Structure 1
């Protein structure tokens, strides 16, 4: 079966261009590459839910087997044009009934579109990795988390969280400062699986993201100086090039659930299996 997949961007055109300059690809383009690495026989298209100029001609959600929402800095707690556009797009996905998956902002978009609520993450942004994600009883039995231990780590970069799941939402995992790390949402005719973290992002991409957020990391007290961020990012890049470096893994506090791509990508792989 050849899967026809849609990746949805929620970065603005400016944000997409900035990420291309820093990381070589926008978030939706990274997601597309990840999906093709797992299913090279799939057909993968991209679209923006905040920039209609990117809509391909003759676009029809019903023609897809699955929809993926990439991450972005979108602020779903404020009733701005971009947030409304993203929520309306997701509402249409729910109505059509095509199964969907999302990372980070994708989870927030899906929750708000179904009647949930997002808010700023406190005490500060999550930058780099989230430690101690813990599956709920429902999560331990859920196909999205099949293959995960009860507790695991994952790449993460976000300043917003889902504060309240909508009716029809099932909490699958949480962490210390993030009440919803993974969830299933059933709404209208559709089902959404989502995670607050980024299984699709590599160690090298996290290094790039941290350097891009250097000023904010210092302002929030997560780093004392730009050199601290750069040193940490350099270790991530070295570990990405040589994943067998146990010394770097030890210094960074990372395990195979982050370092080994097959383990980092478990949720996306499970969702692709769900589609078939």
Structure 2
């Protein structure tokens, strides 16, 4: 089957801040840079309309959001249940908010991180299980990733396997079964997006509240970005 015949549903859970959208486009554009050359993408916003049948797709990816699952809206509960059901048949990847949404839908616990917000370029450590998992296999045991979040998965869902973590956010990635994978970090971000976000927060006087990231310290994170390609290769089958 050709790459164009593989269809991925991009569940857009929110939008980027206006200043970032003006320069880089919105969340679907950020993922499309990595996915669109290889698969056919369809974008759906679950807070605007009902989700389609998962049988139409070969995979589902859930984006980040400025919303929080600790303040759940009805659409979050509906989307979470839909995703858990979809993962019985097709691969599902949750990113940041999507990671937290799926953890909650599966019976895990999400809360405001008592260790504070995590932002900028940070190091993530794979567990032994993570190093063996198709999502990370062959990547360095310690890899750099872009982050921007204040909530975290405080307790894994029943049956979940921890794939990666660090001191500030112990659950950086987890898996459930063969098809469902979640990452707290942002594989779709690059240095330019993460650096511009840090600059915007400094300009708005919000840097301290977001970890006071030095824009000059933001680095490229190719290993984290590689996770998207690995998901297509090993889960969606878009080779």
Q: TM-score, normalised by structure 2?
A: 0.86
Residue 153 of structure 1 is matched in structure 2 by: 144
Q: Which residues of structure 1 form unaligned runs of 5+?
A: 224-228, 236-251
Task: Provide the C-alpha distance between the structure 2 equivalents of 1:21 and 1:153, rounded to a whole number of angstroms.
Answer: 24
3-state SS of paired residue (2:188):
coil
Q: Which has the higher helix share?
A: 1
Residue 144 of structure 1 is matched in structure 2 by: 135
How many Å apart are 1:138 and its aligned residue? Answer: 1.1
Count of aligned positions: 231
How many Å apart are 1:143 and its aligned residue? Answer: 1.1
CA contact under 8 A between 2:191 and 2:218: conserved in structure 1? no
Kindly report which structure 2 residues correspond to 1:218-229, keeping only aligned pairs within 5 A, or say none.
Answer: 218-219=208-209, 222-223=211-212
How many Å apart are 1:155 and its aligned residue? Answer: 0.8
Q: Which residues of structure 2 form unaligned runs of 5+?
A: none
Task: Provide the C-alpha distance between the structure 1 equivalents of 2:146 and 2:197, rounded to a whole number of angstroms.
Answer: 11
Runs of 4+ in structure 1 deviating by more than 4 angstroms, as ranges, are: none
Residue 205 (1) aligns with residue 193 (2): yes
Residue 273 of structure 1 is matched in structure 2 by: 233
Q: Which of 79, 83, 89 is 1:86 aligned to? A: 79
Task: Provide the C-alpha distance between the structure 1 equivalents of 2:13 and 2:59, rounded to a whole number of angstroms.
Answer: 17
Task: Provide the C-alpha distance between the structure 2 equivalents of 1:268 and 1:165, rounded to a whole number of angstroms.
Answer: 22
CA contact under 8 A between 1:102 and 1:194: conserved in structure 2? yes
CA contact under 8 A between 2:34 and 2:229: conserved in structure 1? no
How many Å apart are 1:81 and its aligned residue? Answer: 2.9
Q: Which of 172, 175, 185 is 2:176 aligned to? A: 185
Q: TM-score, normalised by structure 1?
A: 0.75
Task: Provide the C-alpha distance between the structure 2 equivalents of 1:198 and 1:267, rounded to a whole number of angstroms.
Answer: 10
Larger radius of gyration: 1
Q: Which of 179, 203, 207 is 1:217 aligned to? A: 207
> How big is each residue's C-alpha offset from its partner over 1:71-124, in whole Å with a ceiling of 9 and x where there is no partner?
1122112333343243233234235x2111121111111111111111112332
Kindly report which structure 2 residues correspond to 1:29-178, keeping only aligned pairs within 5 A, or say none.
Answer: 29-36=29-36, 40-52=37-49, 59-95=52-88, 97-131=89-123, 133-178=124-169
